[in-house]
Amino acid sequence: MRILALDAALARCSAAVWADGVVLAEQAAPGGRGHAALLAPMAGAVLAAAGLPATALDGVVVTVGPGSFTGLRAAIALAQGIAAGAGVAVQGVTVAEALAEMAGPALDGRALWVAIDSRRGRIFLDRDGTPVPTDLNALPRAEGRVAVAGDAAIEVAARLAARGSDVMLTDARLPLARHVAAVGARRLAGTLPPCPAQPLYVDPPEAKLPAGGLRPPPA
């Protein structure tokens, strides 16, 4: 199975071509606000380095969030466009799934908490496959041995340790496309439930309709 994987969910942008467990080509760079400009050339570069045209792919996978509004939309739109042009399936992978794949055997039986900075004084905390907005001052109790991943992992692990919890800080902070590909391959093969390539938003949209309704279309 030959897969193109894309990630622009957090503060790093990455792309990889993956075939039957082997990474054929990959690139990564700090993303910031430049995801939309970086990712398309990066996708083209890894396909060229792997010696594959997009039409030779069996699928495209992309991180769907939670994460940057702009980064998610840029990556998902690109993934959907490449998949449509190549006539292949496109599937989503959550940030938590990608980071769990990255952490891998180092978890040693610990429950994984994925903490993502929401940039609003809160985090998105995923403990069971469902991210929820959580105030750092109101973290839930950690029952048993816990490992923490994500870009807010350092602060969350420190707060849990201060309470006396048995917590391990992992090195899995930002997703990489190679791990997105590994999860996506299982999803494309049907061993994981499908996940649509649509942004995973935790907070409700901030934009609201005008009180008087939308203006009528111009005549």
Residue in 131, 135, 159 with CA at minimum distance from that of residue 146? 159
Determine the average pLDDT of the residues in 162-180: 97
Identify the band that residue 47 occupies on the pLDDT scale cut at 50, 70 and 90. very high
pLDDT 10s digits, 88-130: 999 999 999 999 999 998 899 999 999 999 877 799 999 999 9
Whether 52 shows a pLDDT value over 70: the answer reads: yes
pLDDT at 130: 93
pLDDT 10s digits, 77-91: 999 999 999 999 999
Q: Taking the CB of residue 132, how many other CB atoms lie within 10 A of it?
A: 13
Whether 65 shows a pLDDT value over 70: the answer reads: yes
Fold of 2-95+174-189: Nucleotidyltransferase; domain 5 (3.30.420)
**Per this entry, what is the length of the chain?**
219
What are the structural domain ranges in the chain?
Answer: 2-95+174-189, 98-169
